[in-house]
Amino acid sequence: MICSMTGYGSASIVFNQKTISVEIKSVNSKFLDANLRLPASYREKEFELRTEIGRIVERGKAEVSVTVDSSEPPRRTSINAPLIKSYYEDLKAIDIDLNLHTPDFLKIILPLPDVLSTGKAALDEDEWKALKSAVEAAGNNFIAFRKQEGLALQHDLEFRIGNILSRLKEIESFEKGRLEVIRERLRAGLEEFIQANNIDRNRFEQELIYYIEKFDISEEKVRLKSHCEYFIQTIHSQASSGKKLSFISQDIGREINTIGSKANDAGMQKAVVEAKDELEKIKEQVLNIL
């Protein structure tokens, strides 16, 4: 079963007086590109979260957002008075030495490191388990969304492969008449310059067979049908593989182009153009497959 690279999933879990919410969104990309937005209190677990997100997303450009709504009273900000005094003494000495006459040292000191502290507590194991559960639930919803989108892609791809096979049948219907037209055109062209009774018929037939062999598309038809069947088989396989489908679609394109170059018939060329149009739509859809 194929999965789309476009996906969305979210989940929320209540832990103590907090609501932990996780949202995962993705669009197509050649590789995994995950951007995480985390609260400061969860930054210590960013590596573990990236590993889990990589397992869920696999491939695609993903945006992952983790938010926490808490009814807990905000932590009191503490002031490191000894450090402020130390900073002040050092800055005052420099000010006197350089004769700067700085009017307000406090504005300079407050933004300095470790002057103000909210007393952030380390993430405890129970809250980490709650966060992982929220990520897992959002991931399950995300994967379900991708599968649903993938099912719509599957139906469209099967429809378009069916159209290509229908064009192949049209091409086959022109084959016999096409060769007869080529035969008559060559004979008429030859008789225009050489009298009919002076033409060596055996030699003409030998050369004609050699020439017509260049327009034979038997091998291309077999390969095109085989590639289309393999494409459908890959769609229904257990593993979703957009890259593999892309390679198969390239093989389909080569056979269609070769048939077009050998067609030498207006009806066949029209069917080839229609098959190419269907293939371009397939290639666009395949880009969004995981």
All structural domains of the chain, each given as residue ranges with its CATH number in brackets, are 7-73+125-147 (3.30.230), 78-117 (no CATH)
Structure confidence at residue 120 (pLDDT): 56
Residues of the chain with pLDDT under 50: none
| Residue in 39, 40, 43, 47 with CA at minimum distance from that of residue 117 | 40
Query: Residue 79 in contact with residue 50, Cβ under 8 Å?
Result: no
Whole-prediction pTM: 0.72
CA-to-CA dists, residue 214 to 184, 189, 208, 217, angstroms:
16, 19, 10, 8
- What gap in Å lies between CA 186 and CA 176, rounded to an integer? 16
3-state secondary structure of 65: strand
| Residue in 170, 149, 143, 179 with CA at minimum distance from that of residue 272 | 170
Structure tokens that stand for 75 in this block: 């932590």
The identity of residue 118, as a single letter, is: T
Structure confidence at residue 159 (pLDDT): 96
| Residue in 69, 72, 65, 57 with CA at minimum distance from that of residue 14 | 69
**How does DSSP assign 92-105, residue by residue?**
HHHHHHHT---S-S
Structure confidence at residue 129 (pLDDT): 92
Structure confidence at residue 168 (pLDDT): 93
Structure confidence at residue 147 (pLDDT): 93
